[in-house]
Amino acid sequence: MPLAARSTTSPEVRTPQSGPDRPPGVLGHVGAVARAVLTPAGLVGAALEATWLGLHLGLYPLGLVGARATHQRTGYRVDHLPPQQRGLSVCDLDAAQTPILLIHGMADNRSIFTMLRRGLVRRGFGRIETVNYPVSLKDVRAAAARLDGEVERIVEETGYERIHIVGHSLGGLIGRYYVTRLGGDRRVHTLVTLGTPHQGSYLAYCWDNALTRQLRPGSSLLTELAQPVPGCRTRFIAYWSDLDQMIFPQRNAALHHPDLNVHNIQLHGVGHGSLPFSGAVVHGISTALAHLDTSGATVAPAVTEVTRRRVNPIPQGVSVASPATRR
C-alpha cells in the first residue's frame, strides 16, 4: 500500500495553534498521534514497523562485524549491469559515483541500512559507505569530530571533494553538527535526515545520561545548532513521519533554520524504525541524489554543486598506459 508523503521547503508553515496564542499541549500531540495511528495507513504502518523491527533484530549481529563497510563498483564496463543501474551511470556518471555515507542512530549499527543500501545500489549508485560509532557514545560533538575523519578518508580514497550523507535518527544530528558547526559544508553536498530530533524529543527525558540530555528540547546542543550558519553550502532533506514513536512531538523531526536550504518531507504511517526500509524514502533519496548534471551542479535551482579536484594536465609527450580515472 503506498504511503502518503507531503513535502515542504523551509521555512515551513507553523504548527497549527490550539488557541489564539498557545501551541498545542501534550494532550494535543498525543491526540495527533492517535489520529495518525487510527487510520488505514496508520494501522498498516504499525504492522510494517513490527515486521521491520523483527527483520532488523535478525540483521543486527551482522552489523557488529567491522567498523565500516564499503560497496564500490569498479571498472568502466556497464553492459553487464541491469538497465536501472546502467541508466544512471550512462546518463550522469558524476551522480552515480559521488560517495554516499550512511550513519545509523543511537544504540544501533549499520545493519539498519541493509535495505536502503541495496536500494541505492539497484538504482545505480556506485560508492556507498556505512560506518559504526560506539554504542557507548555520550556526545554528539565528539561523534561529529570523528565523522570529520571518516569523510576526509572517503575524499582521499575517491578523489571526490564533496559527498552525500544519509543519517537515521541520531545519525542525522551528528551529520548536521558536522556540516553546520565544524565546517563540513565544504565536504557535504547533500545531508538527508530520517527521523532526526532536530528540535529535540521529550522522550529523551525517559532516560537520563549525557547523550539523552543533548536530545532534549532546548538543550545546549540544540541551542548551538540553532545559531546562524551564514553561507552554508549543503542542501538538507529532512524526512519526518506522523507515526514516529521515538520523536515527540513528531514535528520536531522537521528541520527549520533560516540560513539552511531545507526540504522537509512529511510521511504518513511510517514508524521510526521503518524509515530506512520505506520504499518511498529509498525512491525519494535516489531521486534527489541523482539530480546532478555533467558539470557537477544539481538540476534543481539554488542547490550547491559537487566540485571535483583539479587534475594537472599531462605534459606534452608523456604517454599514459591506461585511461585516466576520473575519481
Residue 146's identity, in one-letter code, is R
What fold does the segment set 26-289 form as a domain?
Answer: Rossmann fold (3.40.50)
pLDDT value at residue 249: 94
pLDDT of the residue at 124: 84
Phi, psi of 261 (to 5 degrees): -85, 100
Which amino acid does the sequence have at 180? T
pLDDT for 107 equals 84
Candidates 213, 115, 122; CA nearest to 168 is 115
Q: What distance in Å separates the CA atoms of residue 114 and residue 123, rounded to the nearest whole number?
A: 15
Query: What's the pLDDT tens digit per position in 58-71?
Result: 666 666 566 566 76
Provide the 3-class DSSP secondary structure of residue 240.
strand
Report angle CA 240, 266, 243 to the nearest 5 degrees: 60
pLDDT of residue 88: 56
CA distance 129 to 306: 18
Cα–Cα nearest to 194, from 105, 290, 118, 288:
105
Nearest to 67 by CA among 153, 138, 196: 153
Residue 162, judged by CB atoms within 10 A of its CB (0-12, 13-18, 19+), counts as buried
Are the C-beta atoms of 3 and 278 separated by less than 8 Å? yes
pLDDT tens-digit readout, 266-304: 998 899 989 998 999 999 999 999 875 433 344 443 334
- In order along its 327 residues, the chain shows pLDDT tens digits of 444 565 555 443 333 343 444 456 655 555 555 555 556 666 666 676 667 566 666 666 666 566 566 766 555 455 455 555 544 554 556 778 899 999 999 988 888 998 899 999 888 898 999 999 888 899 999 999 999 999 999 999 999 999 999 999 999 999 999 999 999 999 999 999 999 999 999 999 999 999 999 999 999 999 999 999 999 999 999 999 999 989 999 999 999 999 999 999 999 889 998 999 899 999 999 999 987 543 334 444 333 444 444 434 444 544 444 333 434
**Residue 269 in 3-state DSSP?**
coil
**What are the residue ranges spanned by the domains of the chain?**
26-289
**pTM, whole model, 2 decimals?**
0.74
Quote the pLDDT of residue 299.
Answer: 47
Coil/strand/helix, residue 198: coil
In the chain, the DSSP E strands lie at: 5-9, 68-72, 100-103, 127-131, 163-168, 188-194, 235-241, 261-267
User: What pLDDT score does 146 carry?
Assistant: 95
- 71 and 127 in contact (C-beta within 8 Å)? yes
Mean pLDDT, the chain, rounded, equals: 77
265 with 239: CB under 8 angstroms? yes
What would the pLDDT profile of 312-327 be if each residue is shown by its tens digit? 444 454 444 433 343 4
Please, which residues have CB within 8 angstroms of residue 283's CB and are 6 or more apart in sequence? 119
